[in-house]
Structure 1
């Protein structure tokens, strides 16, 4: 798996997960080399080859979502008819691979202690502010109440030293929860801007939604161009994938 990241968390043995980096593929230029996004201007044949390389490490083809920076979770066991429009996916069936594509937004992997449910969330600031974390967990709990004891792993995302946002982003969070204020640090070079911490914002919302065990977080996509694509850093760039599934 090259230098891909395997989450360091105490998930059940039948829960399998990986986060790809930009390395190990066939692409070139700003998409070098393992771009998995088919919507970013890369050559479609190259993306197809890269997805085929990824497929060799998986039990089945990932159920790719048409991500819209929203708050809609999708069960890939039943209501996912391509193209699936949503920003989170979950599954109770072994072999079904949940996936999200990212290049600065935060990928959140989920599983339960019983090893009967897995999920993944594409948590950009818009989706997070609109409740994608809470809606996903609520949907999972509605589907099967025995899946409620959860843990989460936070993958690489743009770090708080580089994620500059406006006051409207800060207000979108602190208007929901005043405690979110700790996730925003002032930008002393530009008083109209703030530096936002996606990892802290996600942890706060996960805890409030009942997820007591949260791992990972802190790896910055912006500051590591040798391993990670970053839209904020490069503009034209590829996408990495966070993937999780239940082994059969």
Structure 2
């Protein structure tokens, strides 16, 4: 759609922003005049432009405006150990569908966690969002907490951040820190943006600290927080906007 106030059909842009709770109609008009609003990547400065909120992407100050959260379904799931990261399993093992029940929307799982890893998984009905969140070019960070045997000293952190050579190529952590040490068990936090199979376990193996327990605590801007194992929550509001913004939608 052109940046043209006389395009027929659709809803006036300032009305859409007002209905989405971004600002009052008058304040939305000022945002448009100030060049703070874009439609399908094009900055709009003309008042009265009509848009189709069902089909067009609207951004304010670079943040995606989610116009109808009922149509953008994203679920955060705390996957327990032993559950496979698929919607069904031919071997009859517990799957993600068993955790969410008969959800009315068709949902895609965003990436995977291996069967021995617990923590945050995202499910969505938006195929393009799922594709972008897992595509390497968007470099979406994922944070894990791992428990290992022994004391993890400073040299390990340097190795993890400077890079390791694995059988399928080099890899470096985006962030690494020791959380605590209790007896013979050390807890570490690792952030990576690659999604290679069992990547955190293989990295820790490479530095001599095989993982005993692994939990994913964050995927992009979405945190596990206090979500209990085997339960889900709907991602809404600012968190949903941040998730779309992370992949340029």
The one of the two structures with greater contact order (alpha-carbon pairs below 8 A, sep at least 6) is 1
- TM-score w.r.t. the length of structure 2 is 0.27
The TM-score with structure 1 as length reference comes to 0.27
Give the structure with the larger strand fraction: 2
